[in-house]
Amino acid sequence: MVKIAVAGGSGQVAQEVIDALLDTGKHEITILSRNEASIKDVPAGIRWRVVNYNDQPDLVDALQGIHTLFSFVQLLLDPEGMSQKILIDAAIAAGVKRFAPSEYGSAGTTNMPWWAGKESTRDYLRKVNGNEKVLEYIVFQPGLFLDYLAFPYKTAKHIDPLQSVFDYHNCRAIVVNGHEDAIMTLTTAADVAAIVAQAVDYKGEWPETGGIRGNRVTFSEVIKIGEKIRGRPFTIEKVNLEDLEAGTLNTPWALAERHRAISEEQHDHFAKMVSIGILLSSAKGAWDVSDELNQLFPEYNFDKVEDFLTRVWNGKQ
Ligand SMILES: NC(=O)c1ccc[n+]([C@@H]2O[C@H](COP(=O)([O-])OP(=O)(O)OC[C@H]3O[C@@H](n4cnc5c(N)ncnc54)[C@H](OP(=O)(O)O)[C@@H]3O)[C@@H](O)[C@H]2O)c1
């Protein structure tokens, strides 16, 4: 049994992971939230502790006796990474053994300014461990959730569907000219949660880079699989790297679905920025994640892109 605290545990990705942790039947879990219980039905056996990220002593108190601390703080609402920085300081002061920052995405963060808080948290973790290791940590990197290629259908229990540059619904995609072989790592939310739960039980020291390679595929392969599953050719928008670098997206469509952390006024700007950022960063290799967790748990079978999406799209128009 491990005592686990989950900062931002009311959030969508957190709840997938909490379910997987609960399934093990082993751990004592406390959700740290800025608010009174917001999840309609807090699962039995879960404690809920209201915390204030501006009050470090309060956080230190909340973390007393905690072995493993997960953060799922929404970086779009904590762009400087301040909440996580204070959380890390509190974790060290409280003697927390292991920490996993709010990551769960790409290896690099180049051209993705909305994830600047991830980069500053990585820097901060390196800094606090500069002289000696005071906090064991892992940066979980599963790539993009494969569930997003099911948009607009919901395939995870808690994570809402979001549109991606691979739009299986409308049989279309956006690709950077000359970078059709750019790598995208795609892992289902269920697999991410299961691997994270296994990592809690892992007795050795966590690797700092926690690559989770559910599927390592090229843009061309994702489109080819889509055309096979959807039974028709995709309309491909080809964009130039130079235009993207200049902030121009010359396509008849961009990501239209609004992220819940983004206001209606911010949406158009944000959608364009994310479309450009995902394309640029993938062309530069940011989504080609490593496979540390695959190596730690070689017996784990990840859902394959084609199997998962065949199940999703079977019988759909
Ligand atoms: N790879 C992918 O495809 C992918 C997809 C989705 C998410 N992610 C990543 O997964 C992580 C979690 O995302 P999510 O979508 O699950 O997040 P979310 O549900 O939008 O938010 C998580 C929690 O963050 C807390 N929070 C919000 N603003 C905060 C602040 N300023 N300070 C402290 N806490 C704050 C809230 O908890 P309280 O209000 O209860 O305090 C919220 O429930 C992020 O790092 C995200 O980038 C990756």
Residue 281 neighbours by CB under 8 Å, 6+ apart:
106, 108, 109, 110, 111, 112, 287
- Using CB distances shorter than 6 Å, the residues near ligand 1 are 8, 10-14, 33-35, 38, 53, 72-75, 77-78, 83, 102-105, 144-145, 261
Distance between Cα 312 and ligand 1 center (Å): 25
Same domain as 170, residue 130: no
Distance between Cα 301 and ligand 1 center (Å): 27
The answer to whether position 200 is within a domain reads no
Query: Is residue 273's pLDDT more than 90?
Result: yes
Closest residue by Cα to atom 7, ligand 1, is 13
Residue 237 neighbours by CB under 8 Å, 6+ apart:
172, 173, 174, 175, 251, 252, 253
Residue type, 12: Q
Q: Which residues of 101-131 are buried (b: 16+ CB within 10 A; e: fewer)?
A: bbbbbbbbbbbbebbebbbbbbebbeebeee
Give the tens place of pLDDT for each residue, 121-143: 999 999 999 999 999 999 999 99
Same domain as 271, residue 148: yes
The answer to whether position 191 is within a domain reads no
Q: Which of 137, 164, 194 corresponds to the end of one domain?
A: 137
Distance between Cα 8 and ligand 1 center (Å): 6
Same domain as 132, residue 174: no
Which ligand 1 atom is the nearest neighbour of the CA of 259? 20
What's the pTM?
A: 0.97
**pLDDT, the chain, mean:** 95
Confidence bin at 317 (pLDDT 50/70/90)? confident
User: Domain containing 62: what range?
Assistant: 3-137
Distance between Cα 206 and ligand 1 center (Å): 22
What DSSP designation does 125 have?
A: H
Query: Is residue 98's pLDDT more than 80?
Result: yes
Q: In CATH, what number is assigned to the domain containing residue 306?
A: 3.90.25
pLDDT of 37? 85
Query: Is residue 39's pLDDT more than 90?
Result: no
Same domain as 159, residue 67: no
Angle value at C-alpha 106, between 311 and 78, nearest 5 degrees: 110
Q: Where are the beta strands (DSSP E) in 154-298?
A: 166-167, 172-176, 183-187, 209-211, 216-218, 235-239
> Residue 132 to residues 69, 126, 129, 135, 139: CA-CA distances in angstroms?
20, 10, 5, 9, 18
Q: What percent of the chain has pLDDT over 70?
A: 100
Give the tens place of pLDDT for each residue, 134-168: 999 999 999 999 999 999 999 999 999 999 999 99
**What is the separation of C-alpha 131 from the centre of its chain, rounded to a whole number of angstroms?**
29
Same domain as 232, residue 132: no
Same domain as 161, residue 105: no
Confidence bin at 233 (pLDDT 50/70/90)? very high
How many structural domains is the chain composed of? Answer: 2
More reliable by pLDDT, 258 or 219? 219
